[in-house]
Amino acid sequence: MRSSARARVLRDFASAAPGLFAAALVFMVVEALLPNVVLVAMGRTVGGIPAAVEDGLGSPAGHRMLVDLGAAGGLYAVSLLRGPVEDALSTVAQARMSVVTRRRLIEAVSAPAGIDHLEDPAVLDRLSSAQGELMSQEPAGAAMALIGRTGDRLSGVLACAVLAAFHWWLGLGVLAMWLVLNRPLRALVRSRVGTYRRATETLRRSWYFAGLARRPQAAKEIRVFGLGDWLVGRHRALYDEAMRPSWAELRRINRRIALLSALVLGVYAVSAALLGRAAYHHTITLGALVVMLTMLPASMQAGSVNAADFALEGMLASVPDLDALTSDLTAAGPDEDAAGPGKDTAAVPVAGLPREDVVFASVAFRYPGTDQDVLTGLDLVLAAGTSTAIVGVNGAGKTTLVTLLARLRDPTAGRILIDGVPLSALPAREWQRQVAVVYQDFTRFPLTARENVALDLLGGPVDAEALARVARRAGAADLVDGLPGGWDTVLSAQYEGGQDLSGGQWQRLALARALYAVERGARILVLDEPTAQLDVRAEARFYDRFLDITKGVTSVVISHRFSTVRRADRIAVLDGGRVTENGTHDELLRADGTYAEMFRLQVARFGEGR
């Protein structure tokens, strides 16, 4: 598993940045050779000192020593460049690879047409690991870290070879020891990484609290409600909870590492003592002694583990998670979903739908991981080109119904028919482009006003006329004109020259965004509480424009405000997971049911509804 992760990061690096990969391999060889060459050159220099002292610097021995000294000094100077070169290579490689891994992540999480996976703890755990959040290790650094550590290992093996050149038993003995020890040492490092992996969900929650203080929205409430210490406490408590079960294991691992280290130190101490004795008895030269004494610690790189290995294993641990995310989520792609009950009708062209009506037939829905149906046998017809208001108490399932209509989730029972074709038989992505929604919690992109409205709808250039038209209809034209840079103003105070908007101003832009999508071909317009953040005058203007806004499209408006609701062609009351009343405003008032009661209550209390 791990070796395939190693091969995987190297393959990805080689294909994403071949030149850089080649440079990294050259660096690896230099990394392996240079430290040893420097040490040998220094050993030679020191070994030549007695003869040079005895014969004088002008003698051949003196010259040889000076040449060796020059070479050792030069090589040492070059070896000092290894650090900066490695830093530069790592920085560039990480920048390149983070683009690659981020793209894979974005593609993976965007692959399903639905959104269930974004609430699936197993997927979120994988996501957290794939992003390197668990151990704060950037996975994009894995390739260079691996190449760097491989260079270190080779350097250690070469040091063993140099030792063997002097005393074969010493070189081979040290190498054999590391070959035996490296496996269990790496297994210990991996099991430390495993302790994090097992606690992913709790760690995720812990990091959530750690990151909350940075979010402007949360920052307000953290201050107002004095939550700073609580936040730190929650983060700490969850971290402890996540790690506590593994502390005993970590202690066990650390004990083993300490034991193995003591064994290794013992072997090295004995080796050094043997070398000292040999020098004392003049069975080795001073030069050989110096080379071997410096090579001994250098040979540790052949198999020892350190923080860099822990970091590398942490990075590699994210590779299988990213792969699994990619394969699992892309396998559940939208077009596979389309091969549902109406497989033969999958060739129906989606553009222009619905021309007749959208029918919810006995639709039931239950959120994954819950045990209660939100919708139970819901029947509803949305006639093409007309507006339907959905009313119901909080939690009645109005937004859920929109989620099904946009095919972000599929019903657990029943069917939704578009001009008689089951929605499950239409390609989900294409269908989603037919639906323009102003969500209650629409996204406030930190982009320009133009991008916030036009985004990259269907690609291509922004249609300036359509942009002006939708801004007018959404009541956002004056607002955009008043911005310092007009349509080019970045709508976020977090960026240079940017400025934020009020809730109501944002809501108008969100409406303009949906209307622009309609201009570009969407056939269903959904307005979920479209006036919730508007002031009284803006709301009144919205009512006046309601017919214009919904003209020619099949629209669904969800609202608790009856002044908006009554303007719809038809009104459906959602109660107990089904539609309990359905008709025009006048019909429902005459029926004197729940709608009439809710309407009268609002008029009596707030004078609304006119």
Ligand X SMILES: Nc1ncnc2c1ncn2[C@@H]1O[C@H](COP(=O)(O)OP(=O)(O)OP(=O)(O)O)[C@@H](O)[C@H]1O
Binding site for ligand X (CB under 6 A): 119, 367, 370, 374, 392, 394-400
CB of residue 396 vs ligand X: minimum separation in angstroms? Answer: 4
Q: Which two tokens stand for residue 242?
A: 């996540």
Residue with token string 């040893």:
36
Residue with token string 């990484």:
193
User: In what helix (H) or strand (E) does residue 570 lie, and over which residues does it extend?
Assistant: strand 570-575
Q: Which is nearer to ligand X, 394 or 494 (CB)?
A: 394
CB of residue 366 vs ligand X: minimum separation in angstroms? Answer: 9
CB of residue 399 vs ligand X: minimum separation in angstroms? Answer: 3
Residue with token string 């004095």:
226
CB of residue 605 vs ligand X: minimum separation in angstroms? Answer: 18
What is the strand order of the sheet 524-528 is part of?
A: 435-438, 524-528, 554-558, 387-391, 570-575, 578-583
Pairing of strands 387-391, 554-558: parallel
Q: Which is nearer to ligand X, 349 or 395 (CB)?
A: 395
Tell me the DSSP string of 51-99: HHHHH-TTSHHHHHHHHHHHHHHHHHHHHTTHHHHHHHHHHHHHHHHHH
How many angstroms separate the CA atoms of 41 and 555, rounded?
Answer: 82
How many angstroms separate the CA atoms of 445 and 423, rounded?
Answer: 30
Beta strands in 384-502 (DSSP E): 387-391, 413-418, 421-422, 435-438
| Cβ pair 339, 354 in contact under 8 A | no
> Residue 496, exposed/middle/buried by CB under 10 A (0-12, 13-18, 19+)?
exposed
- Report the first-to-last Cα separation within the chain, whole angstroms: 67
Q: List the one residue out of 361, 368, 357 whose CA is nearest residue 414.
A: 361
How many angstroms separate the CA atoms of 401 and 595, rounded?
Answer: 19
CB of residue 371 vs ligand X: minimum separation in angstroms? Answer: 11
Q: Which is nearer to ligand X, 345 or 594 (CB)?
A: 594
CB of residue 401 vs ligand X: minimum separation in angstroms? Answer: 7
How many angstroms separate the CA atoms of 105 and 21, rounded?
Answer: 22
CB of residue 363 vs ligand X: minimum separation in angstroms? Answer: 13
How many angstroms separate the CA atoms of 377 and 375, rounded?
Answer: 7
Residue burial 155-166, b: 16+ Cβ < 10 Å; e: rest = bbbbbbbbbbeb
| Amino acid (1-letter code) at residue 182 | N
CB of residue 129 vs ligand X: minimum separation in angstroms? Answer: 23
| Cβ pair 160, 279 in contact under 8 A | no
